[in-house]
A = this chain, B = another copy of it.
């Protein structure tokens, strides 16, 4: 593997017979290396030499090189003269199993700070009012934050909250505290559930600039409507995570 020459079983599938492109084999190898890069699988953060990788994965030297090129293009590894290929990824795991704020889920990885780009009441458009169960055109609090981990931009968050909670949020320490924690403090109630939608999108020029990412950089976009324990929707968010800085991990079950 990367299946340079897959052996045939009967009945053979026609497609299996044709010679695979090196690009296909390189992608296959890159995916396996990628997992190890992201999970600390290489001791000291240094990848084995190309020859050793070729041996371990039954891949030609050209395939190994092309696979490493793919990881470099993703800014997961770098070639360092005299050292070899080293891990430079700064990608952090965001839990998908429990509803958590960013500072909460990443507390082992560093301090999350928030630059509040704007905060203030705005009349709720119908689509926001509907989801937060307030009358249309009622004021809701709009908060826009650039969130950093270890000083580097991680996400750009656009948040809408009902004004009874929002009014208390304006004077709170938004720079250093998750909105989730503040909502629970203000309401004296724990959060319950959230409906989330995840997408991969290319960053537009302005979002990329704010996130200090290249134009067109892949962004993990999260839309989330969070409810209090009693079911009331209190927090509608549109979050753009820099794709090169976050992974989302969780467990799924087959049974309903």
Interface residues on A, range: 35 or more
Query: 8 Å CB contacts to B: which residues of A206-250?
Result: 206-207, 216-221, 223, 229, 238, 241, 243, 246-250
**B116 x A31 contact (CB < 8 A):** no
Task: Tell yes or no: A45 within 8 A of B by CB.
Answer: no
A198 vs chain B, min Cβ distance (A): 4
A220: which B residues are within 8 A, CB to CB? 198-200
Query: 8 Å CB contacts to B: which residues of A40-78?
Result: 41, 56-58, 70, 73-74
Q: Give A226 to B31 CA distance when docked, in angstroms.
A: 17
Of the listed residues A7, A115, A229, the one surrounded by the most CB atoms of chain B closer than 10 A to its CB is A7
Q: Give A128 to B29 CA distance when docked, in angstroms.
A: 11
**B254 x A99 contact (CB < 8 A):** yes
Task: Tell yes or no: A87 within 8 A of B by CB.
Answer: no
**B193 x A121 contact (CB < 8 A):** no
Name A160's closest neighbour in chain B (CB-CB). Answer: B1
Given contacts A199-B220, A220-B199, contact A57 B119 (CB under 8 A): no
Kindly supply a per-residue 1/0 record for chain A positions 98-121, scoring 1 wherever the CB is within 8 Å of any chain B CB and 0 otherwise: 111000000000000001111111
**B249 x A197 contact (CB < 8 A):** yes
Task: Tell yes or no: A192 within 8 A of B by CB.
Answer: yes
Choice from B31, B118, B174, B200 contacting A243 with Cβ under 8 Å:
B200
Main secondary structure of the interface of A (DSSP, over half): mixed
A136 vs chain B, min Cβ distance (A): 9
Q: Give A121 to B58 CA distance when docked, in angstroms.
A: 13
**A144 x B24 contact (CB < 8 A):** yes
Q: Which 9 A-B pairs have the closest CB atoms?
A: A6-B120, A200-B243, A200-B200, A23-B206, A200-B220, A1-B122, A99-B252, A31-B238, A200-B218
Sample of 29 A–B contacts (CB below 8 Å): A1-B140, A7-B139, A13-B116, A24-B118, A27-B204, A28-B158, A31-B238, A35-B127, A74-B202, A91-B199, A96-B250, A96-B252, A98-B253, A99-B253, A100-B254, A192-B255, A194-B254, A195-B251, A197-B249, A198-B220, A198-B247, A198-B248, A198-B249, A199-B247, A200-B219, A200-B243, A201-B243, A202-B202, A216-B216
